[in-house]
Structure 1
């Protein structure tokens, strides 16, 4: 189940906002992160099985004071889009680049052609 988490973080400038977003995206399960709010002091994180406590702890440790504003299910619009994508993915695919011997498991060896020297029949063809 997709989650939507909003965390309010005390951020001073653009550098701390960038740092907070990098930390948020680095947590396992996070699919996207965005800045929200009038002062861009809230981070909205969406994903599956997000560890909210670990994310808040990392933000407090590296950026500043952080508190969880809300935790809930993601919007249904995103789920509808995913269902449409899954329906399109179920179409059969045809791979036309395989040749006959590879499909049945026969090993194919390359054929080498060596030129014949007719200028001197007594000379060695290797040298």
Structure 2
């Protein structure tokens, strides 16, 4: 599978809501990075392999009430990116830094308890 880029428009009002949206997005399997883009900072750009764009949009709708898929496509080739980066460096003086969140690979560990039958009372009617 090729890397894909998904842009989703979400109604985010403050830093806390932007942080929650980023947390939701990077928690989806296959997501390698996410950043907030757009003039009014109301769009999230998600990059990764095998990302289900509909699932991401539904999760954001659940939390924020409105999330609209703007575009879904493959990531551009490196040569095209180099040309764009040169152009962006000229215009970068006016733009703010874009925050990207890496894919989180840690999984919480839950203790598993083994129930041993030798501790059970034979007269107990529940077990």
Fold conserved (TM > 0.5)? yes
Q: Root-mean-square deviation (CA), in Å?
A: 2.1
Which residue is 1:72 aligned to? Answer: 73
Matched, 1:20 2:50: no
Relative contact order (alpha carbons < 8 A, sep ≥ 6): 1 or 2 greater?
A: 2
Deviation at 1:12, TM superposition (A): 1.2
1:72-107 Cα deviation digits (max 9, x unpaired): 0002119x9xxxxxxxxxxxxxxxxxxxxxxxxxxx
Alpha-carbon separation, structure 2, partners of 1:23 and 1:65 = 14
Task: Measure, in 2, the Cα distance between the counterparts of 1:31 and 1:77.
Answer: 17
- Return the index of the structure with the highest Cα Rg: 1
Helix, strand or coil for the counterpart of 1:23?
helix
> Unpaired runs of 5+ in structure 1?
81-127
TM-score (norm 1): 0.60
Equivalent position SS for 1:21: helix
- In the TM superposition, what are the counterparts of 1:30-109 in structure 2 within 5 Å? 30-77=31-78
Runs of 4+ in 1 over 3 A off after TM superposition: none
How far apart in 2 are the matches of 1:30 and 1:64?
A: 22
Distance of 2:65 and 2:19 partners within structure 1? 13
Ranges in structure 2 where 5+ consecutive residues have no aligned partner? 82-127
Give the 3-state SS of the residue equivalent to 2:59 in structure 1: helix
Residue deviations 1:103-126, cap 9 Å, x none? xxxxxxxxxxxxxxxxxxxxxxxx
Once the 2 structures are TM-superposed, how far is the Cα of residue 64 of structure 1 from its aligned partner?
3.2
